[in-house]
Structure 1
Amino acid sequence: MQYQVDVFTGKIRDYDGSRPSAIAKLQVEGELLLTELGIAGDEQAEKSYHGGTDRALCHYPREHYAHWAQMFPEQAALFCAPAFGENLSTEGLTEQNVFIGDIFRWGDTLIQVTQPRSPCFKLNFHFGISDISAQMQDSGRVGWLYRVVAAGKVSAEAPLELLSRVSDVSVYDAAAIAWFQPFDDEQYHRLLSAAGLSASWTRTMQNRRTHGKIEDQSRRLWGK
């Protein structure tokens, strides 16, 4: 199965009342270079939390935007790609049918799903909605991130094609284990066993198993 993709990149900009972010992205056409750190020319602020080899690309399902427009009718015009700061936008791929470790061919490259996207407080400022980061996390409509297995040339004309599935943990399952379900060591073990899981999620889930509790997420979701 092949999926047509729209491609977006962005530059770091300032936000009143918040820290700089490159969430505001613009559609790009033609041939692009994909490196192990993402699309050439795309930027990320605060690289401790964004970007890097395990988070080189962000993908958000286009079909989710109808949900957000219905939830926030006064801001409905905002909810179209790439409003959530995604690099890739498709129809037909969602958290339910994409799995941790999935390897896709895109142009000359190979990319691998590493984790759900972890919503952060910058979304609240971006949309002017005080708790959309938490609502996004609670809904499971979070999208996902990729590492670049093989770098090369890509373009919006080149579809995504699933080549390999190496785990039985969907992106939605991973989000549910991390955020919706109560502490469950067996489920954390299941998630940690998913081939391709990012280093940061591996560290977080192992820390939960070690300490027997879930860490405070308020700083990520609320900036506190």
Structure 2
Amino acid sequence: MKNSVVSIQVGKVKAYGDKSSSEFLDKYWESAFFKEIVNSKISVSKNGLNGDEIADTIHHGGVEKAVFANSYENYREWAEFLHVETLPFGALGENLTISGLHESSVYLGDIHKIGSTLLQVSQPRKPCYKIAKRWNNKKFTNEIYTTGLTGWYYRVLKEGEIDFNDEVIVSKSDESRISILEANMAFANPIKHRDILETILSIDSIAPNYRSSIEKRILGEFALEYMRVD
């Protein structure tokens, strides 16, 4: 079975909740997490998919996190965890839902040809509290972090267009061959997997902010506050 784009999503920033509430489920937040399916070919620039917006521009978006992809192979696991029968495309807030690829088979630095674009895997996605908010489940963010099934970010090497069912062709893979899953497991346990973290630092194509987080993680200085859901 070929690797392919099974769904494309973009979202607009919207406000949710109540500014006066202190409860997790009702507390005010802004996000473009709730994305709509694109049913036609879409243009992709250095900053991402046409029409897609970012609420938290400090932690998300930009040229190093221009496109967020998630593996459709994880959907059954997340549906079971959330106790729902099925999940809609874009359930994890991703732009591209991809079948045939998985965190264990996507490597840092990989270059993927999709449609007329060239995209490079720049880093794993770091799950934040908004995933838990979206699904009204305080444990969901940590579950994604623990399993390492986070999805991955692309930078855009060549602008172009992507369409539904486009094949994802791996045109180049970094010689270090550190998968997204390996990188996530190492980040979660830096003492046990320091060698993997040091190998990651040798990959020239990783995003600068990701490189900084790896360096801090090795030194025990990287906080995980972005995952807090209280």
Normalising by structure 1, we get a TM-score of 0.91
Kindly provide the amino acid, as one letter, of the partner of residue 213 in structure 1: G
Identical columns (%): 26
1:158-187 per-residue CA deviation (whole Å, 9 max, x = no partner) reads 321110001311111110111144365433
RMSD of aligned residue pairs (Cα, Å):
1.8
Counterpart position of 2:196: 187
Kindly provide the amino acid, as one letter, of the partner of residue 51 in structure 2: G
Q: 1:157 to 1:71 in 2, by over 3 A?
A: closer
1:154 Cα deviation (Å)?
Answer: 2.2
Contact 1:34 1:153 in 2 (8 A): yes
- Counterparts of residues 2-17 of structure 1 (less than 5 Å): 2-5=2-5, 6-16=7-17, 17=27
Contact 1:15 1:125 in 2 (8 A): no
SS at structure 2 position matched to 1:124 = helix
Kindly provide the amino acid, as one letter, of the partner of residue 67 in structure 1: E
SS at structure 2 position matched to 1:202 = helix
Counterpart position of 1:169: 178
- In structure 1, C-alpha distance between the alignment counterparts of 2:229 and 2:136, rounded to whole Å: 14
Contact 1:61 1:91 in 2 (8 A): yes
Counterpart position of 1:122: 130
Q: 1:155 to 1:176 in 2, by over 3 A?
A: same
- In structure 2, C-alpha distance between the alignment counterparts of 1:129 and 1:223, rounded to whole Å: 9
- Of residues 35, 45, 63 in structure 2, which corresponds to 1:53? 63
- Of residues 212, 216, 221 in structure 1, which corresponds to 2:223? 216
Asked if 1:205 is matched to 2:214, the reply is yes
1:101-133 per-residue CA deviation (whole Å, 9 max, x = no partner) reads 000111111000011110000111100001210
Number of aligned residue pairs: give it. Answer: 219
Counterpart position of 1:38: 48
Q: 1:196 to 1:63 in 2, by over 3 A?
A: same
Q: 1:62 to 1:33 in 2, by over 3 A?
A: same
1:42 Cα deviation (Å)?
Answer: 0.5
Kindly provide the amino acid, as one letter, of the partner of residue 55 in structure 1: K
More helix by share: 1
1:9 Cα deviation (Å)?
Answer: 0.6
1:45-78 per-residue CA deviation (whole Å, 9 max, x = no partner) reads 11010100010111111121111222232xx146
Structure 2 gaps of 5+ residues are 18-26
1:86-109 per-residue CA deviation (whole Å, 9 max, x = no partner) reads 111122100001100000111111
Q: 1:91 to 1:157 in 2, by over 3 A?
A: closer
Contact 1:63 1:91 in 2 (8 A): yes
- Counterparts of residues 54-203 of structure 1 (less than 5 Å): 54-73=64-83, 76-77=84-85, 79-166=87-174, 167-182=176-191, 185-203=194-212
Contact 1:62 1:80 in 2 (8 A): no
Q: 1:184 to 1:67 in 2, by over 3 A?
A: closer
- In structure 2, C-alpha distance between the alignment counterparts of 1:85 and 1:95, rounded to whole Å: 16
